[in-house]
């Protein structure tokens, strides 16, 4: 994976000419935890999405789709592409509908990418799960007017993935300006219709992304961003980097409020949670289990590995690890040594006595860096030993090496 600073458009043009396959991870300089993933297959766009806030973004865009997409429970731990692809595999949507949905979501993401200007870019050989069902000319998806509109927005709101926050001590001033702005700007009256101030204030007290707020208010994200300009520039609403504390293992409920467009509403059918896809000989993305009672470490590992195309299972209670691992069957296990109830050495030893996990690679994560701890990890069957705090690239290299070794053996 190479780091560079360049124009996303120039990069896509170069990789298209090379007929390159892989993932371009495009990070936002002012919000380095957040960014975008553009998957190319032989130089063509296969899919584009965000690397965070996928749940909120899909929740928002789902309601603008003209295709009836049977998604009523968006999983936080499953990528948006995997869920859409699984609906196709399960014959809940046709291949034409799946392609139309993926095109719509990719076009919105591509607009965000091309409105960034210079940014930090990483290249990965990660691929999407399943067989290739989409191959778009990314140039044909460019909407220059939309890109220019978002470029103006990003002069004050750096990213739709940022967290918007209204401090409670500024609520009264917000209310005063909110009323004045409606009274003096008829175009905003139409946008917000009969919404109450509490519909705006309550989510902003808790920190929300632009996609989340647009979904809650049934307003287009671009219109909402324009409306918020005054409040942001007056420092009433604070624009914060992506809030990692919002990563949660509990899946949210999809809303069914109509967005103010002429597009058809989606059905409210229920659908079983997406499963790993291995149809027709295709392989799902590698599943990595992280067993650590530290939520901070869990968030860090999740952010690093998901950005490179891995699925991550978060296990904070070591006593439930065996049951969870048996259901999920990960390709690799990351394990903390210092945990209450069961320490990492004992848990690793238990896994090695199980026929099911005897050969699954295990990497011990620990703040200890002594030779005795490393020897003890080796004795109980761990493959590798990684000292915390660790560099993201160090973790990625170690995970990739062990997963590739296991796959080839």
Predicted local distance difference test score (pLDDT) of residue 51: 84
| Rounded Cα gap, residues 38 and 57, in angstroms | 15
286-408: in CATH 3.40.50.2300: yes
- The residue extents of the domains of the chain are 3-151, 163-241, 286-408
| Rounded Cα gap, residues 277 and 285, in angstroms | 8
**Cα–Cα distances in angstroms (integers) from residue 294 to residues 124, 235, 331, 388, in the given order:** 28, 34, 22, 12
Please spell the DSSP secondary structure of 5-51, one letter per residue: EE-HHHHHHHHHHTT--EEEEEEETTEEEEEEEEEEETTEEEEEEES
| Rounded Cα gap, residues 244 and 43, in angstroms | 33
Pick from 269, 265, 256, 279: nearest CA to 92: 269
The more confidently predicted of residues 190 and 144 is 144
Read off the pTM. Answer: 0.60
Tokens linked to 78: 């499953």
Q: Looking at residues 127-154, what average pLDDT do you find?
A: 92
**Residue 2 pLDDT more than 80?**
no
Predicted local distance difference test score (pLDDT) of residue 56: 85
Supply the angle between the helices 221-233 and 210-217 in degrees, to the nearest 10. 120
Give the pLDDT confidence of 101-119 residue by residue, as tens digits: 999 999 999 999 999 877 8
Tokens linked to 61: 């865009």
Q: How confident is the model at residue 176 (pLDDT cuts 50, 70, 90)?
A: confident
Cis peptide before 389 (omega within 30 of 0): yes
Q: How confident is the model at residue 134 (pLDDT cuts 50, 70, 90)?
A: very high
Q: What is the dihedral of CA 264, 270, 276, 282, to 10 degrees?
A: -50
Burial class (CB in 10 A: 0-12, 13-18, 19+), 368: middle
Its sign, for the CA torsion 243, 249, 255, 260, is positive
């Amino acid at each position: 994976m190479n780091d560079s600073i360049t124009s996303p458009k120039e990069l896509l043009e170069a990789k298209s000419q090379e007929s390159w396959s892989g993932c371009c991870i495009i990070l936002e300089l002012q919000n380095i935890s957040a960014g975008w993933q553009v998957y190319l297959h032989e130089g063509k766009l296969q899919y584009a999405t965000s690397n965070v806030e996928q749940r909120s973004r899909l929740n928002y865009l789902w309601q603008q789709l003209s295709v009836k997409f049977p998604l009523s429970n968006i999983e936080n731990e499953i990528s948006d592409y995997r869920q859409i692809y699984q609906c196709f595999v399960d014959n809940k949507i046709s291949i034409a509908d799946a392609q139309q949905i993926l095109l719509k979501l990719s076009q919105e993401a591509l607009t965000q990418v091309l409105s960034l200007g210079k940014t930090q870019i990483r290249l990965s050989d990660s691929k999407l799960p399943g067989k290739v069902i989409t191959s778009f000319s990314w140039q044909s998806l460019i909407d220059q007017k939309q890109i220019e509109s978002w470029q103006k927005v990003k002069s004050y709101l750096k990213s739709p993935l940022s967290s918007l926050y209204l401090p409670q001590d500024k609520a009264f001033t917000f209310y005063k300006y909110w009323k004045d702005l409606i009274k003096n700007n008829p175009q905003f009256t139409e946008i917000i219709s009969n919404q109450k101030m509490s519909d705006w204030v309550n989510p902003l007290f808790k920190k929300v992304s632009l996609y989340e707020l647009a979904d809650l208010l049934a307003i287009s994200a671009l219109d909402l961003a324009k409306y918020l300009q005054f409040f942001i520039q007056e420092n009433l609403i604070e624009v914060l980097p992506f809030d990692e504390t919002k990563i949660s293992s509990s899946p949210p409920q999809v809303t069914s409020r109509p967005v103010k467009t002429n597009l058809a509403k989606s059905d409210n059918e229920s659908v079983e949670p997406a499963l790993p896809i291995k149809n027709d000989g295709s392989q799902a993305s590698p599943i990595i289990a992280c067993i650590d009672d530290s939520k901070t470490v869990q968030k860090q590992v999740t952010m690093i590995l998901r950005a490179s195309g891995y699925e991550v299972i978060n296990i904070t209670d070591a006593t439930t690890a065996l049951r969870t691992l048996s259901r999920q069957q990960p390709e690799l296990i990351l394990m903390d040594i210092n945990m209450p109830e069961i320490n990492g050495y004992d848990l690793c030893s238990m896994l090695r006595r199980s026929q099911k996990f005897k050969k699954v690679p295990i990497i011990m994560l620990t703040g200890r860096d002594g030779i005795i701890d490393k020897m003890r990890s080796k004795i109980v069957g761990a493959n590798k030993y990684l000292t915390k705090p660790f560099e993201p690239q160090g973790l990625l290299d170690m995970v990739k090496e062990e997963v590739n070794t296991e796959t080839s053996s």
